[in-house]
Amino acid sequence: MPQAIINSYLFSAAAPFSPSDLTNLVLWFEADLDAKSGGVAATDTDPVDEWLEQTASGADALQTTGGSEPTFDDAELNGLPVLHFDGSNDHLLIPDAVCPAFGSVDVSVYALFRVTDLTKYQFICSKDTGLSSPEIPEFRIEVTSGDVEIVVGGSISTASTPISAATWYRAGFVYDHTGGQFVTHYLNGSADGTSGAVLPSGTNTRPFFIGGRDSGNRLAGDIAALFVCKSVLSGTDIANLDAYIADKWIP
């Protein structure tokens, strides 16, 4: 075969998708990438006190209080590890000093998680005050009685499809602030409801929580991956990210 044809084929083949292809990706966590315990790679049942963020921004998720670390659960999902949160006090946080700033901006969040207890509020991730009446920009993903809720500012948006306990889901949202102030839910790669939401102006100086929120609520369940962009991801972007996650993590 002539080299020109070979070269044409090689250069025309699409490169495989990477999360780094997403516009303004600011947080990227996967349990098989740089989950640490005491400064070294975590192994099965280790407490995870550091989860390194993969965009090299320095916004690593930490836990400095002994007994409050999630547990590294090796080979739990398709031969890959996950982080287990006990529902009592386990959580990680990104200090505000190194966390990307979130004001009145577009935000997209997508995660691979499961919840083991649907009888109480479960928080996957949050950047909020823990107050019932927020006056600053904040957002979070929470699950209550099987409903996946997205809270943006003072607005609560519920996804169309309830989830079940102890089942893995790929879920998240896209908040379009500049294009009309509305939330689109996504579940396993497909849109799952839309509603209006308003993110107030101001500055949020609280930490970014993984597996909880600032008010003290903690997740009973597991997280394998978490992605946050300061942009409006398109349906194609979500589909590509979902396929990346599913191909890697779902047996």
Contacts of 89 (CB under 8 A, 6+ apart): 67, 68, 218
pLDDT tens, residue by residue, 122-176: 999 999 876 655 556 788 999 999 999 998 887 889 999 999 999 999 999 999 9
Q: What is the 3-state secondary structure (H, E, C) of 134-153?
A: CCCCCEEEEEECCEEEEEEE
**Does domain 25-249 sit in CATH 3.50.50.60?**
no
The whole-number pLDDT of residue 153 equals 82
- For the chain, domain boundaries: 25-249
The 10s digit of each residue's pLDDT in 177-202 is 888 899 999 999 999 999 998 777 77
CA angle 224, 193, 123 (to 5 degrees): 35
Q: In the prediction, which pLDDT does 195 show?
A: 94
Q: What is the pLDDT of residue 15?
A: 85
Q: Specify the pLDDT at position 237.
A: 98
Average pLDDT of the residues in 223-232:
97
H/E segment holding residue 113? strand 107-115
| Whether the predicted model's global pTM rises above the 0.85 cut | yes
